[in-house]
Amino acid sequence: MRPVIPYVTAALLFGLGVYGVLRRRNAVLVLMSVELMLNAVNLILVTADTTARAVLPHSGQVFALFVIVLAAAEIGVGLAIVLQLYRLRATVAVDDVPLTESPDPVDGREPAVADSEAGR
């Protein structure tokens, strides 16, 4: 088997995934781009396993299975975060996600300070 075609296909898939992660603003599309990159890695692992069986038999397929399991867990957690983001902000745009904790919109104070003073 010529491994050039699967390697080139995996490189194109990985490049498309990197482009999607860097250019997309929708969190769901960013998660889909990460999945494209993980599938490209799976394709490389299985291709390397079929072309070089000298090291360990089926080791690439086993690693690909682990990557699939981790990708499923990543999608579960990622979609839960996206759903919570949508409930809080009514948008899933990645640019609108604050990187720091924002002040309370009612009185302008930090949430931790407002909660601790409310209990007095």
52-84 pLDDT tens trace: 776 677 888 888 999 999 999 999 999 998 999
Q: Work out how many domains the chain is built from and give that number.
A: 1
Q: Say what the pLDDT of residue 109 is.
A: 54
CB proximity list for 94: less than 8 A, separation 6 or greater: 24, 25, 26, 27, 30
The single residue listed with the structure tokens 């089926």 is 58
Here the tokens at position 70 are 């981790």
pLDDT tens figures, 36-51:
999 999 999 888 888 8
Domain that holds residue 59: 4-118
Q: Say what the pLDDT of residue 108 is.
A: 55
Give me the phi and psi of 12, to 5 degrees please.
-65, -40
Q: What is the CATH number of the domain that holds 64?
A: 1.10.287.3510
Q: Which residues pair with 90 in a beta bridge?
A: none
Report yes or no: 32 and 38 within 8 Å, Cβ to Cβ.
no
Average pLDDT on 85-112 reads: 71
